[in-house]
Chains A and B, each alone.
Chain A
Amino acid sequence: MTLKLRAALMAATALCGTSAMAETTLNALFMAQAAYSEDDIRAMTASFESAHPDVKINLEFVPYEGLHDKTVLSQGAGGGYDVVLFDVIWPAEYSENGILLDVSDKITEDMKAGILPGAWTTVDYDGKSYGMPWILDTKYLFYNKDMLKQAGIDTPPATWAELQEDAQTIKDAGLVDHPIVWSWAQAEAAICDYTTLLSAFGGDFLKEGAPEFQTGGGLDALHYMVDSFKSGLTNPNSKEFLEEDVRNVFQNGDAAFALNWTYMYNLANTSEESKVAGNVGVVPAPGVEGSSSVSAVNGSMGLGIPSTSENPDLAWDYIVHMTSQPVQDTYAKLSLPIWKSSYEDTAVTAGQEELIDAASKSLAAMYPRPMTPRYQEMSMALQQGIQEALLGMASPEDALQGAADNSGL
C-alpha cells in the first residue's frame, strides 16, 4: 500500500469519525395526555437542539398507560431510550429492577435549594434520586362560574359534603343533568380521583406493607364515589372517562364541577374550542370536616435515564434543560414549574392567578400513592374493585376487600 493511499484512508476514517460524533441521537419517551402538550415539548426540545447542534433528539409520544410498559419492555429488550418520563408511582419498581440510573450525585445544591421540597418525592426512593421532577401536578376542583352564580352559590365548595349539596342545588335548578364529572374508567386516572378522596377522609393505602384501604378513610372514599354516582349527581359516563373526556364534557358546558389536572385550566378557560372560556374557576379539591381542609393526590412526574442508555451524560444535560427554570417558566400554562421562585414571578402568574392560588394550597397537601414495587398489580386490583362498586356488582366493602385480596400485597 502506498503512503499516499494510506494517508487518504486515514483521513477518510477520521472524517467518518467526526461525522459520527456530530450526530449523537438521543431517544426520549414522553406522553401525549394531560400536562405539557406535544407542541410544548417539541419547542422545548428544539431550543436544546439549537444550543447543541451536534445532538438530535428523537421524541416518541405514547398514551400515559404506554409509558410504563414501553420503558420496562425496552429494558427487557436491551434498551433503546436515553430519557424516559416516569410517574411518581414507579420509582420503587424501577429501582428494584435496576431500570433507571441513580442520579443522586448529579443533583446540585442550587437544584436542591431552588426546587419545591414536595417535587423531590416524585423521583426519590429509598434515599436515592432516580431523575429530575418535571411535571408538578395534582387534581383540582374546577367549576363553572356561570352555573354556580345562576344557582345562587357564592363560594365554591370547601368540603366534599358541600360539593354534593351544591351539585344537588344545580341539578334541581335544571342547569345541567349531571353536575359533576370525573375520570373513573378502568385506569390509573380512577386511582388518582380515589386517592384524592382517600386523603380527604384520612385513609391509608397500606399499613406495614399490607392493604389498609379497605377500611376507614379508604372505604369512606369509595362510599362517597358510589353515593355520588347512584344519586345521579355524577355524570354516569364517568365510569368510562379518562382526563380528556372530563375536559370535553366540562368545556362543552355539560358539567358544573370537574376533577382534573392543572392542564385543564388554561385549555378550558382560554382556548377557542371551549364553550366555557372565561368562566372557569379552580380551587383545591375539598376536604372533610374534622379531618382535612383540602385534599390532593401527588400526580407529579419526572424525567429519568434508563440504565441501558449509551449517552447518560448527554441525556442528563437534556433533562437539566427540560427542567430548568427558564424553560419551565416559558411553558407554564399547562403545567406549573417545580421552582419555588417561579410562583412569585409575574410573568408566570399573569392570567392564571386563580390557579397559582389553588396550587399554593394543593401542592402542599399532595398525598402519595403507595411506594411499592408491586404498585401496578395493586392499582389494577383496585381499579377493578372501584368499577365493581360503581356498577353495583359488589358493595364497596366487598369490592375493596376483593381488591385487597387480589393486590398481590
Chain B
Amino acid sequence: MFSERMSPRALLLMLPLVLVMIAVIGWPLVDTIRLSMTDARLAGTSGEFIGADNYTKTVSSRNFQSAFWATMRFSVWSVSIELVLGVLVALLLNQRFYGRTLLRALMILPWALPTVVNATLWRLIYNPEYGALNALLTQIGMLDAYRSWLGEPSSAMTALIVADVWKNFPLVALIALAALQAVPKDIRAAAISDGANAWKRFRYVIMPYLIGPLMVALVLRTIEAFKVFDLIWIMTRGGPANSTRSLSILVYQEAFAFQRVGSGASLALIITLIITVLAVAYLMIMRRFAGEAR
C-alpha cells in the first residue's frame, strides 16, 4: 500500500478524513477503553479507576460464559447453513429455466426486510396457540399437539437460527450467483466433453471461482451473526431461562438495564476483540485473493 512514498500534498489532502475518523471512531474507542477500567454508572457517578477488575469479573462470570456459547452456537449454525443453502440456490438460479428472472428477484425479498419485521413475522409463525408452523405440522401429521417453539430451551435456539437463515441466505446466494457468472463457458463445456460428472465439475471447475467470494461472505456473515441482538431481543428476549441470551444482549443489560456502563464497556470491548480477529482474517483472505488475481 505504501510502496510509493506519498507526496506531502497527498497527506495534506487526506488530513480532513483522518481527523474525522479520529473524531468518530478513535475518540469513542479510547473513551470506551477508559470507561471499561472504571466502575462508572449510566446516571450518577462517573466512576473511579479500578484497573482490569471489570475484565476479570466479566470473563469468569457464569452469564458471560453462557452468553458466549449461545452466541457461538447461533453464529456457527446459522452461517454454515446460510453458506450451503446459498450456494445450492445460486447453482439453481444459474440454470436456464422459465421464470428465472422472477425467482432471482423474489429471492432478494427476505434479505431486504428489516430484521425487526422478520423477527415479528417469525414470532407469529412460531406462536404456540395460533402459529402457522404448528397448524402446518399438525395438519400434515408431523406433530400430535401444538408446541411452544420459543418457550423450550431445546427448540428456541433452532427456531432463531431458522429465522436468521431465512433472512440472510439470499445474501450468500447473491454473492455466489455473481461469482458463477465468471466461470468461463468453454471450460465447462470442455469438462463435460471430457466426461466429468456433476460433482467433479462443481469441485474442479466451479469451486475455484466460488471460493474467494464465499470466504468474503463467510467472514462478513460471521461478524454480523456474532453481533446478533435485534432478532433475539424481539423473538425471545434471551429466554427461556436465558438460553438464547447473546453477548450483545448481555452488554445491553449490563450497561443500560443494570446501569453498569463500566463493566458493560469491558464486555463490549471483549466482543470487539473477537470481531477484530475475524476482521483481520477477512483482510488476509482478501489480500491473498487479490494477490492471486494479479
Contact = CB atoms under 8 A, between A and B. Distances in A.
A72 B241 contact: no
Nearest to A177: B145
Nearest to B152: A391
Interface in B122-181: 128-130, 148, 150-153
DSSP class of A's interface residues: helix, strand, loop or mixed? helix
Interface string B235-270: 011111110000000000100111101000000000
Interface residues of B, number: 27
A387 B256 contact: no
Interface stretch (B38-46, B48-56, B282-290): B38-46
Given A239-B151, A391-B241, A254 B128 contact: no
A249 interface: yes
Given A186-B238, A380-B253, A240 B259 contact: no
A73 B128 CA distance: 34
Contacts of A187: 237, 239
A97 B43 contact: yes
Nearest to B261: A76
Contact of A186 (B129, B237, B258): B237
Interface in A230-264: 236-237, 239-240, 245, 248-249, 252, 254
A185 B239 contact: yes
Given A76-B42, A245-B129, A249-B129, 6 more contacts: A76-B43, A76-B261, A97-B259, A236-B151, A240-B151, A391-B240
A68 interface: yes
Contacts of A245: 129
12 contacts: A69-B257, A72-B42, A76-B42, A97-B43, A99-B43, A186-B240, A186-B241, A240-B128, A240-B151, A240-B236, A254-B129, A374-B258
A49 interface: no
Contacts of B130: 248
A95 to B, nearest CB: 10
Contact of B240 (A68, A93, A240): A240
B44 A98 contact: yes
A374 B241 CA distance: 20
Nearest to B253: A380
Interface string A176-217: 000000000111000000000000000000000000000000
A393 B257 CA distance: 26
B233 to A, nearest CB: 9
Nearest to B239: A186
Contacts of B150: 240
Contacts of A376: 257-259
Contacts of B43: 72, 75-76, 97-99
